[in-house]
Structure 1
Amino acid sequence: MTFTSLASSSHGNAYIVDDGQTRLLLECGLSFRRLKQLAGFGASGMDAVLVSHEHRDHSRCAAELVRAGLPVYMSEGTADALELDGAEIITDRGQFLVGTIDVVPFRTFHDAAEPLGFLLRSGVDGEVLVMATDTVSLAYRFPGVSVLALEANYDSAILSRCERMPDKVRRRITNSHMEIDTLCDYLRTLDLSNCREIWLLHLSDATSHELHFIHKVQRVVPPWCKVAACPKGG
């Protein structure tokens, strides 16, 4: 199973998961036109779309994807916040199948109506991928995971030096996004014996440092895990 980042930032998020038989789009926070350009194929090239929450950088072209006839999965809270008819409603730990990929949504913690992360298990190769972005923490463990794609939004030390940042923005960051040390502490609790890749998502423009984040994560995971930060793209 492969994970490909098309865009990963507060300006737009979109990722593709493909197991050779089923191709899923995770997040659609770009214009429909730009999404098709970056993906290299149109809506017919995807089997379904999973949307974590309603914020525009994750859901921008959800309505167009629904109109194009794609199954677009999201929580009821997300659909209501988007005022979107025609979405496929899913729930925390409500398992469902898309082609050869088994999907288990799970609760995340963000300033959104009903945000979700996703565990994906391929029936083709048996690999397990977990994606969670825009969350201050994670409540679940994922045994046997092959690929992790997790938020690493900011560094508290860098944030503390942003003296011109309004207090309201500072509070929102710390109350709704994952700090790099929080991610590292979480990774220490996981069984990563089968994990081959860790992707860092949604790095902040102002309060992150890509190489610093990669090195921090490399120090707490097994040496065979590839660690990379998703390019902003988009």
Structure 2
Amino acid sequence: MIIKTLASGSKGNAYLLSDGHSELLLECGISFKKIREGLGFNLSKIAACLVSHEHGDHTAGINKMLRETSIPVYASEGTISALKIQDKQTFKLVNKTPSTVATFRIMPFDVQHDASEPLGFMIDSIHTKERLVFITDSYYVKYKFPKMDYLMIECNYAADILEENVQSDRVHRTQKKRVLQSHFSLENVKDFLKANDLSKLKEIHLLHISDSNGDPERFKHEIQELTGIPVYIARG
């Protein structure tokens, strides 16, 4: 599988996943014009757009994409309802119920975030026989995933950086509470990795790193040191 980051972070999120036969757009959180540009105006292989939840940094470009293309959107019923995008191009994903889209088999699973019905995705390529797990905007994941080849996971903040910012009044205590209850920390990423079988894992992609509460190079170094697996920082 090939992973391309178009945008990652609080200003917008969008990623492209390809198995050489078909492609998935993961999130649509920047303008659709920028997505077109980022893909070199080639949308011909995009089989669907998967959306994890309704917040604007994951959905900013959806309405224009639905108006201007035939790309279908797959999301939970709660997300589709919150976005008010009920139409023939929207398809409901049901927690722990698989769906097949082109050469991909998608298993959605529930995550923990302050949204209507947020999801993560376990995606298997029928073509390459590889598996990718995508987790963003969740402070906890209760599932374990066997035979992962690729992991795209939020690593939003580190507890010590967040606390230092609170103590210096750069982050308000109410904002700290929201971060703790809605985003994956460096510490949680480490716990998740320790709890899962990494024997097949080829790449780890760290997503949605906070500008103020994160440290990309530190996060990359610590996760790579823990796992011995190549770590990539999603930038864009």
TM-score, length basis structure 1: 0.95
Q: Does residue 137 of the first structure (1) align with residue 140 of the second (2)? A: yes
Offset at residue 182 of structure 1 (A): 1.1
Q: In the aligned structure 2, how far is the partner of 1:209 from the partner of 1:137?
A: 20
Offset at residue 44 of structure 1 (A): 3.6
Q: In the aligned structure 1, how far is the partner of 2:64 from the partner of 2:74?
A: 14
The structure whose RCO (Cα within 8 Å, separation 6+) is larger is 1
Offset at residue 45 of structure 1 (A): 4.0
- Find the partner of 1:183 among 180, 184, 189: 189
Partner residue of 2:83? 82
Q: Does residue 128 of the first structure (1) align with residue 131 of the second (2)? A: yes
- Find the partner of 2:95 among 92, 98, 101: 92
Q: Residue deviations 1:107-161, cap 9 Å, x none? A: 1110000000111101111000000100001111111100000010001101111
Offset at residue 43 of structure 1 (A): 4.1
Offset at residue 42 of structure 1 (A): 4.6
Q: In the aligned structure 2, how far is the partner of 1:192 from the partner of 1:220?
A: 11
Q: Is the 8 A contact 2:21 2:45 kept in 1?
A: no
Q: Is the 8 A contact 2:139 2:185 kept in 1?
A: yes
| Number of residue equivalences | 230
Report runs of 4+ in structure 1 exceeding 4 Å deviation.
none
Alignment of 1:45-194 (within 5 A): 45-67=45-67, 68-86=69-87, 87-162=90-165, 163-164=168-169, 165-194=171-200
% identity of equivalent residues: 38
Offset at residue 70 of structure 1 (A): 1.2
Q: Residue deviations 1:92-118, cap 9 Å, x none? A: 111011111111111111000000011
Q: In the aligned structure 1, how far is the partner of 2:60 from the partner of 2:42?
A: 16
Q: Is the 8 A contact 2:96 2:109 kept in 1?
A: yes
Q: In the aligned structure 2, how far is the partner of 1:171 from the partner of 1:39?
A: 37
Structure 1, gaps ≥5 residues long? none
What is the letter of the counterpart of residue 35 of structure 1? I
RMSD of aligned residue pairs (Cα, Å): 1.1
Q: Does residue 219 of the first structure (1) align with residue 225 of the second (2)? A: yes
Q: In the aligned structure 2, how far is the partner of 1:198 from the partner of 1:218?
A: 9
